[in-house]
Amino acid sequence: MQIVILDTPQQVANYGADRFADQLKHKPDSVLGLATGSTPIALYSALTARVQRGELSFANARTFNLDEYLGLAGSHPQSYRYFMNEHLFQHLDIALANTAVPDGATDNPLAACDAYEAAIQVAGGIDLQLLGIGRNGHIGFNEPSSSLASRTRVKTLTPDTVKANQRFFADGEFQPHLSITMGIGTIMEARQILLLATGQSKSAAVRAMVEGPLAARCPASILQMHPKATLVLDRAAASQLEDVAFYQYIEQENQRLPGV
C-alpha cells in the first residue's frame, strides 16, 4: 500500500483529482469506479472545475459506482444515483448512459447484481476504483464479516452505518437498511485503487486497515493484498497510525525515484 498523508482534506481532494486526471490523460476511455459519501465531494468539485476549465474530459470514460440503497429509485434525493448526478455527472462532459449505479428500485435484486458484475466485465474491468471508508472499516457497503471474496450482492447495513448515514435523511423518512454493493472480490479486481479518508472519526478504521490484521472484521484491510492501492489521508484520519514517520519517509524517497 502507498500511504500518503497530507495536511488538509482539500489537499486530499486535490491529490485524488490529480490521480484521476493522470488516469484519463493516459487512457481517455478509462473505466472508473466511483464512490459516494461526504469524503469524495471535494474531489468531485475539483474534477468539475478542471472539466469546466477545459483541462480534463470524461467524454470517453465509463463509470461504475460501488453501491446503492435497495428500495430507493434513482429519482429519490437520498439515492446514490441522485447524489452522483448532482455532485458530478451533470457537471461533466459524460453521457449519463455511460455512468452505471446499481438499480435500487429493481424488483429482482439477484439478477441486477449479476448483471452489474457482467457489465463491469464487458466494459473491460475497472481501471481506477475510488473508495471511502466507513467508521467500521467498510468499503462500498461491505460491512464487517463480509466475505473478502464476495461479488456484487445485497447486503444488510449495520446499525452503526444506518446511524452514520441518518444525517442525510429527514426525521421519519424511510431509510433503507439494505443495499446493493460491489463485493470485496469485485473491488479487488480493479487495476488501481485510490482510497480517501479524512477526519478523526475515520482514524480507528484507518489504523485497522493499515496496521491491523487482514480480517473480515475490517473489510478495508483486504487492501493490504492489492498490488496498487493508494491510501490518501489527512492528518486527523492518520492520527492513530503508529508508523507515520516511516510512511512519510517512504513517500519522500519515492519522490526521488523517477517512475515509482
The per-residue b/e assignment along 54-75, b for 16 or more CB within 10 angstroms, e otherwise, is eebebeebbbbbbbbbbbbebe
Q: Report how far residue 233's alpha carbon sits from residue 138's, in angstroms, rounded to the nearest whole number.
A: 16
CB-count exposure of residue 240 (10 Å: 0-12, 13-18, 19+): middle
- The residue range among 35-43, 95-103, 122-130, 148-156 that interacts with ligand GLP, by the rule CB under 6 A, is 35-43
Which residue in the list 65, 136, 142, 165 is annotated as catalytic?
136
Q: Name the phi and psi angles at 153, rounded to 5.
A: -165, 180
Min CB(75)–ligand GLP separation in Å: 19
Query: Is residue 36 at the binding interface for ligand GLP, with CB under 6 A as the rule?
Result: yes
Is position 138 annotated as part of the catalytic site? yes
How far, CA to CA in Å, does 233 sit from each of 16, 92, 199? 11, 26, 9
Min CB(18)–ligand GLP separation in Å: 20
Q: Which of 3, 4, 47, 67 binds ligand GLP (CB under 6 A)?
A: 67
Query: Is residue 69 at the binding interface for ligand GLP, with CB under 6 A as the rule?
Result: no
Q: Parallel, antiparallel, or unpaired for β 99-100 and 62-65?
A: parallel
Q: Which of 140, 176, 183, 219 binds ligand GLP (CB under 6 A)?
A: 140
Is position 22 annotated as part of the catalytic site? no
How far, CA to CA in Å, does 12 sit from each of 159, 231, 238? 29, 10, 12
Min CB(31)–ligand GLP separation in Å: 18
Is position 14 annotated as part of the catalytic site? no
Residue nearer to ligand GLP on the CB measure, 53 or 146: 146
Q: Report how far residue 1's alpha carbon sits from residue 114's, in angstroms, rounded to the nearest whole number.
A: 30
Which residue in the list 138, 165, 226, 234 is annotated as catalytic?
138
3-state secondary structure of 107: coil
Is position 253 annotated as part of the catalytic site? no
Query: Is residue 38 at the binding interface for ligand GLP, with CB under 6 A as the rule?
Result: yes
Please tell me what DSSP assigns to residue 158: P
Q: Which of 30, 63, 150, 165 binds ligand GLP (CB under 6 A)?
A: 165
Cβ atoms 108, 117 nearer than 8 A: no
Query: Is residue 144 at the binding interface for ligand GLP, with CB under 6 A as the rule?
Result: no
Q: Which residues bind ligand GLP (CB under 6 A)?
A: 35-39, 66-67, 132-134, 140-141, 161, 165
Active site residues: 67, 136, 138, 143
